[in-house]
């Protein structure tokens, strides 16, 4: 059974050298049963069209010249590729066919479609003969034996049965593209560039896995790469945009190519037969990639204004003319943009319903994400006046903007418009994990931050992730409406699905922002790095993970040139990480770092004056939402220990969590059992604090829960616990809930550098995450 359909366009078969390359691709990429669809070699169809025009005008001289052109080209290919009897046979067949054409010309019985079919027939015969010569079991097919159409409509059920019955499963099937037969056996064609469509039709009928369109460019670009060297190749484009591009007359894919793939998972790729190792473009299902920007040009078009268009009439006309018409609806009046050669026929057809509005105009169409089109339209219009091009009809359609002009858009103008409209295409995809208090505020603040971020890079939030559900849209989630979108579209997911989606995301830059408090989620970081994601964490687990794991993560990130920011994992929005990095980058050496790193413990210690029992304050803090659900997690000091470790590692110290001495703000026996069980024993906590407070008071001191790191002559001492500080110490005057960081260094020896302020709270923390994101955005290009 066929697994793959390969399609080689005229550009891949223009010379003997190209046939050699094509044969090599077939040898390397196909197996028996596969299908190879071929177009006419080089510009053969154009030449055959000239012959038809000569016939219509009864221009014998011209016909003789054109036939000799066709003969020479084919003979050259056959002479070069075939040998022995094979060569003689194929040359002979060519002569017979050309003689027949000439005879029909003279007799006036030439048929247009049958004449044009020769191009594809010659290609299929030559390629299969050449493959046979190489020892490959190849079979040439005339698609008129396989594809039947009735009044311009392909009979899919009949065709499918026919293909399944006839197509060989033990040979390579070389089939003509572009042609089919009607029920009387007469030739019909599928429209210019129709071989792409033939390829996807055979793919659908035979249920293959993949269609590969081999052409002369490496894939689908932001504009014609043969005209604009700065055109950008896209690794993925979605079917809807490919379809739109084709409907706007872009040659890289025929307008109907996508329709047979509807509802199937058949993979479609566009690759270069000139450079078969290069990664091509995959045309993926909607939602499989973000929407891209394209500019495609139009030449020699007419605009016909149609007052009334019946239902189905447009489709019928497109079938009849075998071309796609751009239909613009402006308040119920239709404007058809049509290739000039069809306009007389259309005007005749519509009679008094239509009038010619524009004649022989050119222009371009911009395909872009819907939300950006209006902006692009303004830029396009400015671009046109900068180029001194005369704007004619224009139309803002679904997913595209069309601008017709008097002048043709030459390569220079196209290059200018491409630069002006598409500029730098680099984009940053943002994944936000954790939509608790801070996460929600972060997403809400996003809308206000967008303009600022976009000064540096185009940015889109592509996923919002909670522990069980995820909202994912590679084209970008509207952060102003995210709750509604969440209600409607959030789906359950597994971590593997999340990772697969991230790996597939076709953005130039990606960042995972971890605002969860989940250790399990933090363990995915190495895999995020493998999917080329930068990291921003408010989560403390990865920063305090075992040293070997942490260092290997840092190394992976560095190798891939990825950034990891974790400003809010310590001190919420306070810029302590920035300050430490800055001191070191400017040549200073930190000798001591200490302070109060927990908002909860700061609140408790600063509020405690011996008047109210400590446990009463603790219960009050719990009620106000200042503590963890089990307040012993705060009292244990573990959180402060992790924060100190993060800062120590920021200073380049290779510490593990257990290298930091920890003494809790509670008696050891309180750590046992559940919190509910502990409630009865809170008197022990009160005694524990009261004894120490009285002792401190006797020395004119107050209690603070302190983290302290000393680096002296290469010796590191780190501890976290309750300390008594003199009343004139900066820690003593700390307002309840504030964090304070005191840094001593070579430059701040006696008088430490102090950073102080709220070290918790959803607004400041979310803003701190934005600060990391902004930092990242300014460093990407």
Catalytic positions, written as ranges: 643
Inter-CA distances, 605 with 290, 390, 682, 706, 725, Å: 51, 75, 16, 10, 12
Token duo for residue 508:
């130039």
- 9 touches ligand ADP (CB under 6 A): yes
Residue closer to ligand ASP, measured from CB, 243 or 449: 243
Burial class (CB in 10 A: 0-12, 13-18, 19+), 503: middle
Q: How far is the CB of 220 from ligand ADP (least distance, A)?
A: 5
Among 192, 204, 292, 342, binds ligand ASP (CB under 6 A): 192
Identify residues 31-50 at the interface with ligand ASP (CB under 6 A). Answer: 39-40, 45
Question: Of these, 8, 74, 141, 177, which contacts ligand ASP (CB under 6 A)?
Answer: 177
Work out how close the CB of 303 gets to ligand ADP at its nearest, in angstroms, rounded to a whole number.
22
- Smallest separation, CB 133 to ligand ADP (Å): 24
Q: Up-side HSE of residue 132: CA atoms within 13 Å toward CB?
A: 18
Q: Of 176, 94, 95, 170, whose CA–CA distance to 128 is shortest?
A: 176
Residues that bind ligand ASP (rule: CB under 6 A) add up to a total of: 13
**Residue with Cβ nearer ligand ASP (192 or 305):** 192
Q: Is 737 in the site for ligand ADP (CB under 6 A)?
A: no
CB of 127 to ligand ASP, least distance (A): 14
CA distance 173 to 124: 9
Among 30, 47, 189, 193, binds Mg ion (CB under 5 A): 193
Q: Any idea which residue has 């003979």 for tokens?
A: 75
- Could you give the angle at the alpha carbon of 434 between the alpha carbons of 428 and 435, nearest 5°? 100
CB of 469 to ligand ASP, least distance (A): 45
Nearer to ligand ASP, 9 or 758 (CB): 9
Using CB under 6 A as the binding rule, whether residue 223 contacts ligand ADP is answered as yes
Cross-strand partners of 6:
36, 212
Distance in angstroms (rounded) separating the CA atoms of residues 516 and 466: 8
Looking up tokens 């993970």 gives: 545
Binding to Mg ion by residue 9, rule CB under 5 A? yes
174 backbone dihedrals φ, ψ, rounded to 5°: -95, 110
Nearer to Mg ion, 38 or 462 (CB): 38
- DSSP secondary structure letter of residue 520: H
Q: Which of residues 17-76 bind ligand ADP (CB under 6 A)?
A: 39
- Judged by CB under 6 A, the residue of 2, 10, 204, 758 near ligand ASP is 10
Rounded to whole angstroms, the Cα distance separating 306 from 126 reads: 46
Q: Which is nearer to ligand ASP, 194 or 383 (CB)?
A: 194
Of the candidates 665, 679, 668, 702, which has an alpha carbon nearest to the alpha carbon of residue 622? 679
Contact status: 12 vs ligand ADP (CB under 6 A): yes
Residue 308, contacted partner among Mg ion, ligand ADP, ligand ASP, none, CB below 5-8 A by kind = none
- Contact map string, positions 126 to 165, toward ligand ASP, x by CB under 6 A: ----------------------------------------
| 45 scored as a contact of Mg ion (CB under 5 A) | no
Instruction: Assess contact for 753 and 591: CB atoms under 8 A.
Output: no
Q: Could you tell me if 111 and 47 are in contact, meaning their C-beta atoms sit under 8 angstroms apart?
A: no
Contact between 280 and Mg ion per CB under 5 A: no
Task: Choose between 54 and 470: whose C-beta lies nearer to ligand ASP.
Answer: 54
How many Å apart are CA 707 and CA 596, to the nearest integer?
A: 6
Instruction: Count CB atoms within 10 A of the CB of residue 547.
Output: 15
Residues in CB range of 721: below 8 A, 6 or more apart:
637, 661, 662, 663, 664, 665, 705, 706
Measured in whole angstroms, the distance separating CA 662 from the mean position of its chain's CA atoms is: 47
Residue 221 found at the interface with ligand ADP (CB under 6 A): yes
Residue 85: count of CB within 10 angstroms of its CB: 8
Q: Minimum distance between the CB of residue 194 and ligand ASP, rounded to whole angstroms?
A: 5
Query: Would you count residue 225 as binding ligand ADP (CB under 6 A)?
Result: yes
Taking contact as CB under 6 A, which single stretch among the options 100-108, 217-225, 304-312, 375-383 is the one that binds ligand ADP? 217-225
Interface residue list for Mg ion (CB under 5 A): 9, 193
Interface residue list for ligand ASP (CB under 6 A): 9-10, 39-40, 45, 119, 177-178, 192-196
């Amino acid at each position: 059974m066929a697994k793959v359909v390969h399609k080689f366009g005229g550009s891949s078969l223009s010379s003997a050298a190209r046939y050699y390359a094509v044969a090599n691709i077939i040898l390397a990429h196909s197996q028996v049963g596969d299908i190879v669809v071929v177009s006419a070699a080089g510009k053969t169809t154009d030449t055959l069209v000239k012959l038809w025009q000569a016939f219509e005008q009864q221009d014998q001289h011209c016909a003789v010249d054109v036939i000799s052109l066709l003969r020479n080209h084919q003979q050259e290919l056959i002479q070069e590729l075939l040998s022995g009897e094979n060569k003689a046979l194929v040359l002979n067949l060519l002569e017979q066919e050309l003689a027949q054409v000439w005879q029909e010309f003279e007799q006036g019985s030439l048929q247009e479609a049958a004449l044009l079919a020769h191009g594809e027939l010659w290609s299929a015969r030559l390629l299969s003969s050449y493959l046979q010569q190489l020892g490959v079991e190849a079979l040439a097919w005339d698609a008129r034996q396989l594809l039947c159409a009735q009044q311009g409509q392909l009979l899919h059920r009949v065709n499918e049965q026919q293909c399944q019955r006839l197509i060989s499963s033990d040979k390579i099937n070389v089939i003509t593209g572009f042609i089919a037969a009607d029920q009387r056996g007469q030739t019909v064609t599928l429209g210019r560039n129709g071989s792409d469509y033939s390829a996807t039709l055979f793919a659908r009928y035979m249920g293959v896995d993949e269609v590969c369109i081999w052409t002369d460019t490496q894939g689908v670009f932001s504009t014609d790469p043969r005209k604009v060297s700065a055109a950008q190749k896209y690794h993925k484009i979605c079917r809807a945009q490919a379809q739109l591009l084709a409907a706007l007359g872009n040659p890289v894919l025929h307008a109907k190519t996508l329709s047979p793939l509807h509802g199937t998972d058949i993979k479609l790729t566009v690759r270069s037969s000139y450079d078969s190792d290069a990664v091509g473009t995959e045309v993926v299902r909607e939602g499989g990639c973000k929407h891209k920007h394209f500019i495609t040009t139009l030449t020699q078009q007419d605009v016909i204004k149609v007052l009334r268009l019946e239902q189905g009439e447009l489709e019928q006309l497109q079938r009849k003319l075998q071309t796609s018409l751009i239909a613009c609806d402006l308040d119920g009046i239709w404007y058809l943009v049509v290739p000039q050669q069809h306009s007389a026929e259309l005007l005749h057809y519509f009679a008094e319903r239509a009038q010619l509005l524009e004649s022989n105009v050119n222009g371009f169409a911009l395909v872009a994400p819907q939300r950006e089109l209006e902006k692009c339209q303004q830029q396009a219009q400015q671009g046109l006046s900068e180029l001194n091009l005369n704007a004619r009809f224009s139309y803002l359609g679904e997913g595209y903007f069309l601008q017709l002009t008097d002048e043709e858009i030459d390569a220079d103008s196209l290059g200018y418009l491409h630069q002006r409209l598409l500029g730098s295409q680099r984009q940053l995809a943002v994944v936000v994990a954790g939509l608790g208090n801070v996460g929600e505020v972060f997403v809400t603040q996003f809308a206000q931050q967008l303009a600022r971020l976009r000064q540096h890079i185009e940015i889109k939030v592509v996923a919002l992730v909670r522990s069980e559900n995820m909202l994912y849209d590679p084209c970008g989630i509207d952060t102003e409406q995210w709750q509604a979108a969440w209600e409607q579209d959030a789906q359950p997911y597994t971590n593997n699905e999340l990772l697969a989606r991230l790996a597939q995301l076709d953005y130039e830059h990606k960042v995972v922002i971890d605002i969860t408090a989940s250790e399990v989620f933090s363990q995915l970081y190495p895999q995020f790095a493998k999917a080329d994601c930068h990291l921003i964490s408010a989560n403390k687990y990865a920063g305090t993970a075992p040293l070997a794991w942490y260092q290997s993560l840092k190394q992976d990130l560095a190798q891939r040139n990825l950034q990891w920011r974790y400003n809010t994992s310590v001190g919420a929005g306070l810029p302590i990480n920035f300050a430490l990095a800055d001191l070191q980058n400017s040549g200073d050496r930190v000798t001591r770092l200490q302070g109060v790193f927990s908002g909860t413990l700061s609140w408790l210690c600063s509020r405690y004056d011996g008047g109210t029992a400590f446990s009463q304050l603790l219960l009050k803090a719990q009620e106000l939402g200042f503590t963890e659900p089990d307040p012993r997690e705060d009292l244990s000091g573990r959180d402060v220990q992790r924060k100190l470790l993060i800062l120590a590692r920021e200073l380049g110290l290779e510490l593990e969590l257990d290298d930091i001495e920890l003494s809790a703000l509670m008696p050891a026996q309180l750590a046992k059992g559940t919190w509910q069980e502990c409630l009865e024993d809170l008197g022990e906590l009160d005694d524990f604090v009261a004894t120490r407070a009285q002792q401190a008071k006797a020395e004119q001191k107050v209690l603070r829960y302190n983290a302290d790191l000393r680096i002296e002559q290469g010796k590191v001492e780190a501890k976290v616990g309750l300390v008594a500080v003199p009343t004139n110490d900066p820690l003593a005057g700390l307002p309840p809930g504030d964090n304070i960081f005191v840094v001593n260094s070579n430059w701040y020896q006696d008088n430490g550098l102090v950073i102080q302020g709220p070290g918790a709270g959803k607004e400041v923390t979310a803003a701190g995450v934005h600060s990391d994101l902004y930092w990242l955005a300014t460093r990407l290009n």
